[in-house]
Amino acid sequence: MDVPVIVIGAKGMLGRDLVDLLSNAPFEHDVLAWDIDEVDITKPEDVREKVEGAAEGRSIKYIVNCAAYTDVDGAEAERERSYEINAVGAKNVAAAARKVGARTVYISTDYVFNGEKATPVKEEDETEPVNYYGETKLAGEEFTRSEDPEALIVRIQWLFGPNGKNFVETMLELAESGKTIRVVDDQVGSPTYTIHLADALGRMIRLSLAGIYHVSGGGSTSWYRFAEEIFELAGMDVDIVPVTTGEYVKGAGRIVAKRPKHSVFDMTKLETDADHKMREWKEGLSDYLKRRGTLK
């Protein structure tokens, strides 16, 4: 297809998989991979000059904004910095995209919801972030849509993948210590393998989808049951204890931002509009462990 696409945040966990996937079959886009070394999204003039320069001699069709301040607890302390990246940065990217006639793809989060709904969350459900990180990402959604009404907003959750720090790696590292591991069992969501997510994003871009979509791994689990599955597939005998969020926060000894209790997505819209059903999170975990040589 050779469609020019810019991926910002290209060195992140999702960004690396997305660049790799979009560059190769079946998508075969002309991908420009940018990270903080190439562009500072908090500076509007930097983004504008970089995007306009890339558009000289070619027609940029999409700019995928994977850049984000993702430290949920850190956002409570570094409010100005997290807002600059997740909200103002999103506005700058969308504004630059509009100037060159490109469509923005903004990667958002389940944290725009309060997590109180017992059934899967739909795109049109009311947003109500319970922490500052969620507030900044919701602001990023709003800024993106204000600059680019045809933008594609993709809400994701519980990422793990081969190109970054994630829950699976944390659990495997803790297991090596031989100590008891305490894991929260009253937060439920859907672990999402970045390679599966990147594939879904590629399909959505190819179909020129616009609007808000929920995308995550299929199925659901708690962090504790997720950890159990990791150790079972890795063939590791680990002393793991389920705890409530309250018990975990009490024992953390540091600032811990509030998390949504139930983050499972309704992905009917994705399945209908993209004719694509996300693979189960357990399938993604198995592939991840196989790739790193840890699968039993």
Does residue 132 carry a catalytic annotation?
no
Selecting among 69, 83, 133, 193, the annotated active-site residue is: 133
How far apart CA 132 and CA 286 sit, in angstroms, is: 33
Question: Bridge-partner residues for 188, per DSSP?
Answer: 222, 262
Question: How is residue 204 written in tokens?
Answer: 């959505």
| Residue 23 Cα distances to 104, 111, 210, 265, angstroms | 18, 30, 21, 28
Cβ(75)–Cβ(82) below 8 Å: yes
b/e code 118-146 from CB counts within 10 Å (16+ = b): eebbebeeebebbbbbbbbbbbbbebbbe
**86, 197, 200, 196: which is closest to 137 by C-alpha?**
86
**49, 51, 37: which is closest to 9 by C-alpha?**
37
Q: Provide the angle, in degrees to the nearest 10, between the axes of the packed helices 281-291 and 194-206.
A: 120
How far apart CA 62 and CA 221 sit, in angstroms, is: 33
How far apart CA 247 and CA 251 sit, in angstroms, is: 6
Q: Which residues are catalytic?
A: 133
